[in-house]
Structure 1
Amino acid sequence: MAMDQEQARKALVEAIKAVGQALSDLALRSSVSPSPEALASVQPFCVDTMTFPEWIQFVFLPKLEGMLEGGDPMPTWCDVAPMAEEYFRQHELDGITLIEALRRLDELVTAAR
C-alpha cells in the first residue's frame, strides 16, 4: 500500500532522525563543524575534506532536511548505505545500526519520487 505525501514526509523525518541517532550511538557525531572550504568540496561524499560520518552529519542530512522543509522533491535515487558498508569495512566499529538506518532512508528517499 502506497504512502500518501504526509505519511511519506513523516517517514522521511523519522528516518533522518534514526540516522542521526545512530551516529550519536556510535560516538561518530562531531561537535566541530567542518570549515567552509571542507564543505565546498566537489568530490563525492567530500572524501577529500571530511570523514564519511562528518559528511552524513554536515552535508547529507542537512540537505535532505532542507529539501523537506522547502517542499522540494527528493532526489530520484539515493544509495548511501553501500558507502557506509565500505566505511565500516575499513574501521573496527560495528556500524550495522547506521547502515540499516541509511538503507531505510535510501529506500524512502528513492520512493518519495
Structure 2
Amino acid sequence: MTPEQRILAKLLLIEEEMKNIELWQLESPTEQAFESVEPFCIDTMSAHEWLQWVLIPRLSSMIENEMPLPNKFAIAPYYEEAFKEDKSRDVTDLLNHLRELDAMFKS
C-alpha cells in the first residue's frame, strides 16, 4: 500500500468514526462559511465541520489529482483542544485516528 493509499484509508476511518459518534453532517455549511481566512475556518465552522467539509475533501482531492502533499501536518492538537469540553460523546477513537494521520506526514 502506498503512503497515499494509507492516507485515504485513514480518512475513511475518520469519516466512519465521525458517523459512529454522530458528528457527520448531511448538510454542508453555507458558502460564506468556506470563505473564512482563519485557520480551520474557526470563525465560521465548528471543528468537526472543517474536518468533514474541508480537510477530508481537500486531502482526498490532492491525492486523487496527484498533487504534492504537505511535508508536515499536525491537526490532532487542535482537535484535542476543540473536543476537550465535549462530554456528550467519546472522541477517543477519532482523536487516535487524527494522531495517526498526523504521523503519516512526519518527514
TM above 0.5: yes
TM-score by length of 2: 0.92
Residue 3 (structure 2) pairs with residue 8 (structure 1): yes
Which AA in structure 2 matches 1:97?
D
**Aligned residue number for residue 94 of structure 1:** 90
Q: Which amino acid aligns with 2:80?
A: E
Determine helix, strand or coil for the equivalent of 1:94: coil
CA contact (8 A) 1:52 1:87 kept: yes
SS at match of 2:83: helix
Identity, % of aligned positions: 31
Give how far 1:90 is off. 1.8
Alignment of 1:1-113 (within 5 A): 7-92=2-87, 93-108=89-104, 110-111=105-106
Report how far residue 85 of structure 1 moved.
0.7
**Structure 2: distance between partners of 1:63 and 1:8:** 16
Structure (1 or 2) with the greater helix fraction: 1
Q: More deviation in 53-62 or 7-16? A: 7-16
Unmatched segments (≥5 aa) in structure 2? none
Deviations 1:59-90 (A, max 9, x none): 01011001001101111211011111111112
TM-score by length of 1: 0.88
RMSD in angstroms over aligned alpha carbons?
1.2
Q: Which runs of 4+ in 1 moved over 6 A?
A: none
Q: 1:99 & 1:85 partners in 2: Cα distance?
A: 7
